[in-house]
Structure 1
Amino acid sequence: MTIPAEDLTTTRALQRLESGSSSMRLQAALAIGAAADPRFVDKLIERCAVEPDFYVRDMLTWALTRYPAAMTVPRLVGELRSEHMQARSQALHTLSKIRDRRAWPAITRSLLTDADDEVARSAWRAAVVLVPDGDEAGLAEVLVTQLGRGRRDTQVSLSRALVALGDVILPALGAAMKDQDPGVRRHAIATERLLRDPDAGFEFAIEQAKRIVALGTGDEKG
């Protein structure tokens, strides 16, 4: 029995996605994305959950954006319930790139407050892209509960997500500026300053916020 050339190509591409060479996996993801063959969708999503190389993961995401959202979004939403951190994180990242708002109901509070920083950060980025008009204030109220969390890169991600929502975040930030936790107050003040002056940079804003909290001036401007 002769195997069709198309099936041989498909088999080779699938094998290369699992190659020990990251460059070969990258090339395979690029080729699959260019072809956008529906038979590869499940394999691409499956590979996202385990791929160790950042650049290959990014190419896998690009490949998935080449397919119709109706084909990929339901599968990616299913990944959000995975026990594996990377599966959740990469699915969220991919949903943020596809930008199909039908995924919004799957961006739950539990994802926005996920114990894993990478999952939470991916959820924040996806949420600000997918949030429907009119729901921004509710999203901001959830996001401010994460102020003061994690290392500097995590805090930067949260501030950027909040600032992307615009002035609607101000009431929630105002309450956070009076929080008993000085770390929360500092992060809230820094975020408010970034909203007013996006060019200031997080490092400058957080240093200003530290001085304000140290002086006990709360949410004082200046």
Structure 2
Amino acid sequence: MPYDTKLPVDRFTDEEIREVAILKEKTILKNEFLDNLYYVFFIAHFFTSVFIDLSGLIGIERMYTKNLILSYISKYNDFLLFERPGWFRFLILIETIVQVPMFMWFFTIFNRYYDEKKRHCFTVVVKRENLFRLKSWRPIIRKFLKLYALLASSTTAYCCYIIYTQGHYPGTSTPLTSEDTYKLIALYSPMIYIPLGLLFF
């Protein structure tokens, strides 16, 4: 059992009451607004990864959303997604096998954490297992959020570096204009600073 079985079973100890009061106020990140914001962000990133980014690994023609992807490439001149250099395919592979499962875990664990926090854990007859989950889950979730933040921001930053130094129109050797370069960088850059924010909350 995760708790001391010698503790009274019909009431909290004074120490547990204090722990409950503290844990009731805690969120995964700095506040509940940020928790909800990143929860929505993970949903959006999940669908982007599955329906657009995956084409960088398996090819646009194999994607059900190929018309959407080609339209996006035409609008933003995303030569990386169009040409799929080896290093880019490797980054998409990492995104697919590491980040996508992370998103699914985040969806589940965020919901479970708030279920424990709001529905089960702060009544007089609370089970000590629930208290244990809140105490142990939060630091684990935060560690995985920081791991995701480092992975997503660093790989995207490298893509932005390549766009800035080697940007060209898809399928040609014609360099991107400054306007088109910065437009493409602006599209990629939220995937640097939004994940990076997780390191500071």
- The interval holding the TM-score normalised by the smaller chain is under 0.3
With structure 2 as the length reference, what TM-score do the two structures score? 0.18
* Higher alpha-carbon Rg: 2
User: Which structure exhibits the higher relative contact order, with contacts defined as CA atoms closer than 8 Å and separated by 6 or more residues?
Assistant: 2
Question: Normalized against structure 1, the TM-score is what?
Answer: 0.17
